[in-house]
Structure 1
Amino acid sequence: MARLEGKVAIITGAAQGMGAAHAKLFVEEGAKVIITDLNEENGQALAAELGENAIFVKQNVANEEDWATVIAKAEEAFGSVNVLVNNAGITMAKSILQTTAEEYRRIVEINQVSVFLGMKAVIPSMQKAGGGSIVNISSLNGLVAGAIGYTDTKFAVRGMTKAAAIEGAHYNIRVNSVHPGVIATPMVVQEDTKAAVEEFAKHIPLQRVAQPKEVSKMVLFLASDESSYSTGSEFVIDGGISAR
């Protein structure tokens, strides 16, 4: 039996990169998937590629009304939601002195507020389903320091995960965070950063960056019933960086 047979999953920021890898693996494992993103062209193309078990919904994850729309369309297409993967996020490599208040608030809205809104929106649907699993994609920088704004919000995701896990336990809803290190996504391996990433990889204990599907397998485990006793925990996939 497929590992996500009978599951209905929402994956945000899934038009490309890690989110797209998650969506593909989830459908392979029997889930019905709602792909959300602002990138309508890529999102529609991915949904078409995945077939009848996937739909695309255009979404601004920082907008509460958009979340209500996503839940309504998910339930209309496939039924009550069992899984939410809060994957959408942005980063910015600027110093504190270079970062404007507007830029900082944008990172907070997309990386942090969206996770709160997603959990709040999906819990009633999961209650109807009899429970569920929420997987919040944080980062290695939710454990150790990185860029201002990105680090702050990824630490916040880690904290929200723990708070929500305690509350969600009453409804048979598990909430965990995933902390990827350097992953070979389009954002990371673009031409102007490729050389720097390759140099950094030499200092990773496993001496390479991860492929998106390696993170997807961790997310799959947490979405499935195989992780039925895991909640409020951090799952790190960083090639050993944080072990130093």
Structure 2
Amino acid sequence: MHSIFISGAAQGIGAAIATLFYQHGYKVGIYDINIDQAQALAQQLGTRAKAGLLDVSDYSQWQHTLSEFKAWSGEINVLVNNAGILYSGAFEQTDITAHHRTIDINVKGVLNGCHAALPYLQKASFARVINLSSASAIYGQPDLVTYSASKFAVRGITEGLDIEWQKYGIRVLDVMPLFVQTAMVKDMDAGSIKNMGVHLSAEDVANQIYRQVQVKDSIFTPTHQPVGFKSKILFSLSKVSPQFVNRMSNMFLAKRE
């Protein structure tokens, strides 16, 4: 029986991932800084779910929780680096501590997770890493500057490790959704969300992640997977459009009334 370890799994996309994989027979690790919610979800799902406390910016917590989960599950097959935060609004009007916290969780959290999990993934019968990137990693987003930058970093980590860890037989992939109907986008202060709308559900993202875990590895398996029609269009256009066209498009999409 395969297992999956999910960071930031107590609610939103993480909870949807946990629920879907549990339904498909996986042993599920629900790890989150909100331990009460994580435990409630694990209890709701059943005996193949285990909850634990995890602050992804703390490497020692990663080491402890991964060791604990491996002892319970037998092996770790899938790591999903889902935990993330978002601050929106004008860059200069956002406190510098919020910018730093975004990097600590969205970037360092992924680095910590990948680094701490590798010894377990190497020993597993099957292993895959799925990182949560974003359509914000297609082109830098105004009013979401640090969040967008953090997702560019996740994109780079994913690309580099997907090549580097071929020697271990481990694929490292990511998903790139546009805005998702979760608490993260509630009261978000960015022109792009007003112009693009919120059309994806947490379940849409979870289903894409499940497909990426199940797909057979080949040279044609894409490292990045946009989620939703709009994300796919933006991702495709960014590959062929001149830079000034991408810039103008994003200026239009981010325009406020």
TM-score category (smaller protein)? 0.7 to 0.9
Residues 242, 219 of structure 1: alpha-carbon distance in 2 compared, 3 angstrom cutoff: closer
Give secondary structure in 1 for the equivalent of 2:91: coil
Partner of 2:206: 216
- 1:228 is aligned to 2:217: yes
What are the ranges of 5 or more consecutive residues in structure 1 without an aligned counterpart? 1-5
Q: Deviations over 1:175-209 (max 9, x none)?
A: 01100111111333x4x469x89953xx56xxx60
Q: 2:168 aligns with which of 168, 171, 174?
A: 171
Give secondary structure in 2 for the equivalent of 1:165: helix
Give secondary structure in 1 for the equivalent of 2:92: coil
Q: Distance in 2 between matches of 1:164 and 1:104?
A: 25
Q: Deviations over 1:106-150 (max 9, x none)?
A: 110100011011001111101111441000001110112221110
Q: Distance in 2 between matches of 1:171 and 1:135?
A: 16
Partner of 1:152: 149
Give secondary structure in 2 for the equivalent of 1:41: helix
Q: Distance in 2 between matches of 1:185 and 1:151?
A: 17
Identity among equivalent pairs (%):
32
Contact 1:140 1:238 in 2 (8 A): no
Contact 2:86 2:147 in 1 (8 A): yes
Partner of 2:47: 52
TM-score, normalised by the number of residues in structure 2: 0.83
Q: 2:100 aligns with which of 99, 102, 105?
A: 105
The structural deviation recorded for 1:212 is 1.1
Q: Distance in 2 between matches of 1:48 and 1:9?
A: 17
What are the ranges of 5 or more consecutive residues in structure 2 without an aligned counterpart? 235-257
Structure 1 residue ranges (4+ consecutive) displaced by more than 6 angstroms after TM superposition: none
Q: Distance in 1 between matches of 2:24 and 2:92?
A: 46
TM-score, normalised by the number of residues in structure 1: 0.88
Q: Deviations over 1:81-117 (max 9, x none)?
A: 0100000000001322123332221110100011011
Contact 1:9 1:33 in 2 (8 A): yes
Residues 68, 231 of structure 1: alpha-carbon distance in 2 compared, 3 angstrom cutoff: farther
When the two structures are aligned, how many residues end up with a matched partner?
230
User: What is the aligned-residue RMSD (CA, Å)?
Assistant: 2.1
- 1:79 is aligned to 2:74: yes
Residues 18, 145 of structure 1: alpha-carbon distance in 2 compared, 3 angstrom cutoff: same
Give secondary structure in 2 for the equivalent of 1:62: coil
